[in-house]
């Protein structure tokens, strides 16, 4: 039976076909639609980059013609075929550019055991003459849309990316069949120009923007302004980021990935009261304890000024990028409740918001993250959700990301968002946390079950807050989008390992055994107390209490598997490298060996911490510090070992993060601001925002020895010094740690090399 979601999407394109007819006089010329053949040059470029310049050995052919930039770029499921031509070339035919890219990957993984990965790139070098496929290869998607990225990924992961980094990421996404992706870089330029047209000055606008590493939440209206005394966002940063966005959007189009561009979310500088004194505005609520850096003005979508800003936002992007998409992301109430909870108000807000969108682009689709319905579920009752979504009368005019489908699906309680198109998303990672974690049983069968039970489901997607590891769980979901049945994860992991280490002379059985243990125990979590990627105890501000955590918020620290499993995995990987030393020259193996080793050491730290707490209680009672000193030193030594392991791979270093940040600091005005942003985002954000302390914790060499080691050293010394007094002054010790944290934020771009010394530097 054909799922009605496909018909719904196809219907959306047909419904709009009359409006989009280029002969219709009331449609702006730049939005006139016409069926045009799409160039395959972008896919040839992808082949050249991943096959060492051998794109000439392929022929690419589109089997269907699409209305370029019609309301829905992709009206049905994709399919492709890989065969051989009579002249010996490899021909890849597909319904879309995305299908061609996916077919290219199918050939590479099937015939060459070659795949492309985060951080490490292609798993092996292709031969000079590409072999022909052993048989005809075919594939078809089970959903028309394969979505990628979260709004906050642009701060947690991408904030310091240069074009070379984006080029690799876009190749990775296209290669896996992603055909719709958020394009959220540099839109402060659109804010700036739009606010200028209202009559605001740069001196009024720039202080509204947050620092470079925190712009995602500024765009949501959660925070405003820069902190730390390092100045406001600069025009130089804004211009360069927008220039990067132009490259990103153009490449996405070439690769067949529909860009999702930003719309005006409704948040404005305080100067709105000067330039539009009669405009109805309200203060957003305090967000996550950021009392001095939140409460932006929200201008009512019912007002003409809001509609004017929306028109400016959309039209300026069309002018900058061309007519490249009709899908716009717009989240008005991210982790903030509306000031008015009546159904009439909520319906009116969405109705006027969408009217403003379509005034600028009659074909506009409003994409929103469904996170608000989970995060503020007590406010968002069924009737309020229906009212808010129902303000957009045509159900096909919106697209909802069910952002946390693996653990908190909202599509079920909303009956598939009341018939509106929606995408099943795997969130998985929060804040860029790096612990090993997965829920693979929830990312194979459940998406297919949703597809069978919701006629309005139109896609599967990745919505991770940060891209920091655990790559196999993302591959699995994106590959599930091309399988009618739930993927057998046993065989999947075996094939994934074969490709990832294919540059080695051989792959010993011990390595397959290691990954089978990871599959069963680490990547198939069923412990409800650990619903997301955990943080490690060593990454939290030291305390005698509250560090053994479960649940969603704050992040759990509980290990969801027997730590002995990871010790066994580490031994098996060591045995594999002893059996075939060529593994140690394989980028994927070198990365994974560090990743697994540092997690094993991290798990051991949890025992060290428990011993320290127990020993301190005994020392206080007996006024003896000998054992406490020994336990404290053992804990600090563990961190030294962790830092040493992490330092062996550049991807696990604070130096890489700071170096990338420094590449954007091309003026004295930006140096202090960018270094502070880079350091504070991965630690405490800012000491005046305590609720986000260590939210985006990272396992990096340099960060361990200069930050985490020092905090624990202060704590251990504080415990030892408390024994003779018979009591611990926890507040004084906490204040001492906070003073260190604040000082650390201002150390610039350099991280001292070498091992930890007595001062932790």
Residue-wise pLDDT tens digits, 669-711: 889 999 999 999 999 987 677 778 899 999 999 999 999 999 9
Query: CA 549, 555, 558 angle in degrees (round to 5)?
Result: 40
Class for domain 145-487, per CATH? Answer: alpha beta
**Whole-structure pTM value:** 0.93
Residue 227 in this model has a pLDDT that exceeds 70: yes
The secondary structure of 219-232, three-state, reads: HCCCCCCCCCCCCC
**Backbone region of residue 712 per phi and psi (left: phi > 0; alpha: psi in -120 to 50; beta: other values):** alpha
Instruction: Give CA–CA dist 360/308, Å, rounded.
Output: 9
DSSP single-letter state for residue 108: I
Residue 217 C-alpha from the chain's centroid: 14
Strand ranges inside 58-104, DSSP E: 58-62, 79-84, 90-94
For the chain, give the mean pLDDT.
92
DSSP single-letter state for residue 701: B
Residue carrying the six token digits 């997301």: 532
DSSP SS3 for 458? strand
DSSP SS3 for 318? helix
List the structure tokens of 183: 């394009």
Looking at per-residue confidence, does 754 or 584 come out higher? 584
Q: How far is CA 566 from CA 273, 510, 601, 607, in A?
A: 58, 14, 10, 15
Residue 9 in this model has a pLDDT that exceeds 90: no
Choices 3.30.379.10, 3.40.50.1110, 3.30.2130.10, 3.40.50.2300: CATH for 40-140? 3.30.379.10
Task: Identify whether the C-beta of residue 276 lies closer than 8 Å to the C-beta of residue 198.
Answer: yes
Task: Identify whether the C-beta of residue 646 lies closer than 8 Å to the C-beta of residue 594.
Answer: yes
- Give the residue range(s) of CATH 3.20.20.80 domains in the chain: 145-487
Instruction: Give CA–CA dist 263/272, Å, rounded.
Output: 18
Residue 3 in this model has a pLDDT that exceeds 90: no
Q: Band the pLDDT of 754: cuts 50, 70, 90.
A: low
- Give the residue range(s) of CATH 1.20.120.670 domains in the chain: 526-560+586-745
Residue 66 has a pLDDT of 63
Residue 10 in this model has a pLDDT that exceeds 90: no
Task: Identify whether the C-beta of residue 139 lies closer than 8 Å to the C-beta of residue 108.
Answer: no
Residue 557, preceding peptide bond in cis (omega within 30° of 0) = no
Residue 112 in this model has a pLDDT that exceeds 50: yes
Q: Residue 698: how many CA atoms within 13 Å on its side-chain side? A: 29
Residue 598 in this model has a pLDDT that exceeds 70: yes
Residue 23 in this model has a pLDDT that exceeds 90: no
For 111-120, 282-291, 580-589, which range has the lowest pLDDT when averaged over its residues?
A: 282-291
Instruction: Identify any residues that bridge with 35 across adjacent strands, giving them in sequence order.
Output: 67
Backbone angles phi, psi at 166, to 5 degrees: -65, -40
Q: Band the pLDDT of 75: cuts 50, 70, 90.
A: low
Cα-atom radius of gyration of the chain, to the nearest Å? 26
Instruction: Give CA–CA dist 319/187, Å, rounded.
Output: 14
Residue 669 has a pLDDT of 80
Which of these, 438, 439, 462, lies nearest to 151 by C-alpha position? 462
Task: Identify whether the C-beta of residue 427 lies closer than 8 Å to the C-beta of residue 406.
Answer: yes
Residue 535 has a pLDDT of 96
Residue 496 in this model has a pLDDT that exceeds 90: yes
Task: State the average pLDDT over residues 209-215.
Answer: 96
Residue 420 C-alpha from the chain's centroid: 24
For 33-47, 230-244, 283-297, 554-568, which range has the lowest pLDDT when averaged over its residues?
A: 33-47
Task: Identify whether the C-beta of residue 66 lies closer than 8 Å to the C-beta of residue 38.
Answer: yes
Residue 573 in this model has a pLDDT that exceeds 50: yes
Instruction: Give CA–CA dist 210/480, Å, rounded.
Output: 38
Indicate the pairing of strand 422-426 with strand 398-402.
Answer: parallel
DSSP SS3 for 380? coil
Strand ranges inside 279-382, DSSP E: 281-283, 297-299, 327-329, 365-369
- Give the residue range(s) of CATH 3.30.379.10 domains in the chain: 40-140
Query: CA 233, 239, 241 angle in degrees (round to 5)?
Result: 85
Query: Quick one: which H or E segment has residue 459?
Result: strand 457-462
DSSP SS3 for 180? strand
DSSP SS3 for 147? strand
Residue-wise pLDDT tens digits, 252-262: 999 999 999 99
Instruction: Give CA–CA dist 21/2, Å, rounded.
Output: 29
Instruction: Give CA–CA dist 236/188, Å, rounded.
Output: 11
Query: CA 12, 153, 646 angle in degrees (round to 5)?
Result: 145
Task: Identify whether the C-beta of residue 144 lies closer than 8 Å to the C-beta of residue 77.
Answer: yes
Instruction: Identify any residues that bridge with 399 across adjacent strands, giving them in sequence order.
Output: 367
Crossing angle of the two packed helices 563-579 and 587-622, in degrees rounded to 10? 140
Instruction: Give CA–CA dist 103/400, Å, rounded.
Output: 28
Work out the burial of residue 491: count CB atoms within 10 Å of its CB; fewer than 13 is exposed, 13-18 middle, 19 or more buried: exposed
Which of these, 137, 44, 40, lies nearest to 84 by C-alpha position? 137
> How many secondary structure helices (H) and strands (E) does the chain include?
27, 17
Instruction: Give CA–CA dist 115/354, Å, rounded.
Output: 41
Residue 712 has a pLDDT of 98
Q: 317-354 in b/e burial notation, b at 16+ Cβ within 10 A?
A: bbebbebbbbbbbbbbbbbbebeeeebebbbbbbbbbb
Which of these, 279, 257, 259, 260, lies nearest to 268 by C-alpha position? 279
Instruction: Give CA–CA dist 117/124, Å, rounded.
Output: 11
Indicate the pairing of strand 145-148 with strand 457-462.
Answer: parallel
Backbone angles phi, psi at 244, to 5 degrees: -65, -40
Residue-wise pLDDT tens digits, 158-204: 999 999 999 999 999 999 999 999 999 999 999 999 999 999 999 99
Backbone angles phi, psi at 463, to 5 degrees: -130, 35
Q: Quickly count: other Cβ atoms within 10 Å of residue 366's Cβ.
A: 21
Backbone angles phi, psi at 277, to 5 degrees: -60, -25
Task: State the average pLDDT over residues 441-462.
Answer: 97
The share of the chain scoring above pLDDT 70, in percent, equals: 93
Instruction: Give CA–CA dist 597/592, Å, rounded.
Output: 8
Task: State the average pLDDT over residues 107-131.
Answer: 95
Backbone angles phi, psi at 701, to 5 degrees: -60, 145
Task: Identify whether the C-beta of residue 94 lies closer than 8 Å to the C-beta of residue 74.
Answer: no
Q: Which CATH architecture has domain 526-560+586-745?
A: Up-down Bundle (1.20)
Task: Identify whether the C-beta of residue 481 lies closer than 8 Å to the C-beta of residue 29.
Answer: no
């Amino acid at each position: 039976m054909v799922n009605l979601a496909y018909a719904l999407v196809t219907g959306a394109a047909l419904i709009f076909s009359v409006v989009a007819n280029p002969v219709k006089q009331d449609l702006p010329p730049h939005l006139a639609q016409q069926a045009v053949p799409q160039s395959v040059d972008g896919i040839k470029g992808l082949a050249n980059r991943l096959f060492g310049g051998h794109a000439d050995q392929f022929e690419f052919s589109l089997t269907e013609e699409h209305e370029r930039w019609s309301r829905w770029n992709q009206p049905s499921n994709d399919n492709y075929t890989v065969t051989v031509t009579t002249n010996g070339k490899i021909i890849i035919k597909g319904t879309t550019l995305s299908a061609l890219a996916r077919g290219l990957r199918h050939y590479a993984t099937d015939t060459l055991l070659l795949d492309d990965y985060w951080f490490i790139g292609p798993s092996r070098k292709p031969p000079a003459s590409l072999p022909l496929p052993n048989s005809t290869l075919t594939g078809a998607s089970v959903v028309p849309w394969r979505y990628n990225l979260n709004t906050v990924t642009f701060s947690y992961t991408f904030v310091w990316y240069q074009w070379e980094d984006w080029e690799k990421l876009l190749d990775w996404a296209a290669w896996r069949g992603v055909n719709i992706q958020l394009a959220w870089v540099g839109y402060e330029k659109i804010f700036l120009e739009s606010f200028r047209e209202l009559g605001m000055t740069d001196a009024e606008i720039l202080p509204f923007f947050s620092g470079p590493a925190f712009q995602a939440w500024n765009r949501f209206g959660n925070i405003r302004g820069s902190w730390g005394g390092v100045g406001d966002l600069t025009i130089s940063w804004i211009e360069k980021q927008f220039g990067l966005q132009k490259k990103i959007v153009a490449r996405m189009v070439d690769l067949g990935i529909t860009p999702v561009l930003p719309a005006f979310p409704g948040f404005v500088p305080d100067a709105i009261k000067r330039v539009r004194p009669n405009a109805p505005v309200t203060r957003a609520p305090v967000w996550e304890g950021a009392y001095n850096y939140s409460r932006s003005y929200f201008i009512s979508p019912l007002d003409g000024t809001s509609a004017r800003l929306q028109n400016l936002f959309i039209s300026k992007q069309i002018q900058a990028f061309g007519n490249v998409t009709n899908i716009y992301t717009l989240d008005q109430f991210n982790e903030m409740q509306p000031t008015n909870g009546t159904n009439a108000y909520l319906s009116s807000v969405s109705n006027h918001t969408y009217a403003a969108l379509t005034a600028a682009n009659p074909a506009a689709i409003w994409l929103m993250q469904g996170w608000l319905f989970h995060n503020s579920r007590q406010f968002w009752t069924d009737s309020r959700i229906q009212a808010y979504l129902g303000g957009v009368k045509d159900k096909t005019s919106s697209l909802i990301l069910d952002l946390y489908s693996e653990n908190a699906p909202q599509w079920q309680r909303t009956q598939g968002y009341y018939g509106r198109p929606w995408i099943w998303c795997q969130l998985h990672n929060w804040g860029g946390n790096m612990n090993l974690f997965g829920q693979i049983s929830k990312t194979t069968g459940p998406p297919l079950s949703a597809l069978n039970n919701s006629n309005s489901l139109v896609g599967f997607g990745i919505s991770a807050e940060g891209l920091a590891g655990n790559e196999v769980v993302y591959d699995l979901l994106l590959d599930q989008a091309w399988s009618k049945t739930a993927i057998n994860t046993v065989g999947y992991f075996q094939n994934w390992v074969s490709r990832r280490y294919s540059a080695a002379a051989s792959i010993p059985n011990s390595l397959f055994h290691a990954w089978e243990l990871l599959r069963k125990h680490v990547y198939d979590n069923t412990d409800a107390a650990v619903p997301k990627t955990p943080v490690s105890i060593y990454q939290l501000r030291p305390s005698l209490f509250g560090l053994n955590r479960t649940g969603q918020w704050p992040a759990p620290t509980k290990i969801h598997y027997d730590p002995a499993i990871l010790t066994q995995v580490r031994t098996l990987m060591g045995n594999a490298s002893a059996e075939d030393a060529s593994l140690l020259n394989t980028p994927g193996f070198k990365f994974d060996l560090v990743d697994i080793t540092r997690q094993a050491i991290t798990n051991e730290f949890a025992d060290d911490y428990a011993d320290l707490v127990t020993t301190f209680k005994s020392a206080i009672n007996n006024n003896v510090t000998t054992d406490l000193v020994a336990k404290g030193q053992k804990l600090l030594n563990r961190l030294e070992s962790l830092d040493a392991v992490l330092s062996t791979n550049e991807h696990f270093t604070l130096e890489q993060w700071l170096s990338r940040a420094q590449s954007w600091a091309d003026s004295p005005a930006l140096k202090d601001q960018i270094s502070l942003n880079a350091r504070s985002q991965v630690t405490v954000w800012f000491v005046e925002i305590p609720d986000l302390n260590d939210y985006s914790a990272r396992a990096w060499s340099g960060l361990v020895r200069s930050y985490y080691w020092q905090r624990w050293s202060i704590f251990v010394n504080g415990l030892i010094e408390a024994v003779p007094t018979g009591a611990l002054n926890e507040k004084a010790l906490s204040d001492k740690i906070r003073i260190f944290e604040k000082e650390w934020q201002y150390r610039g771009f350099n991280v001292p090399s070498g091992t930890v010394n007595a001062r932790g530097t």
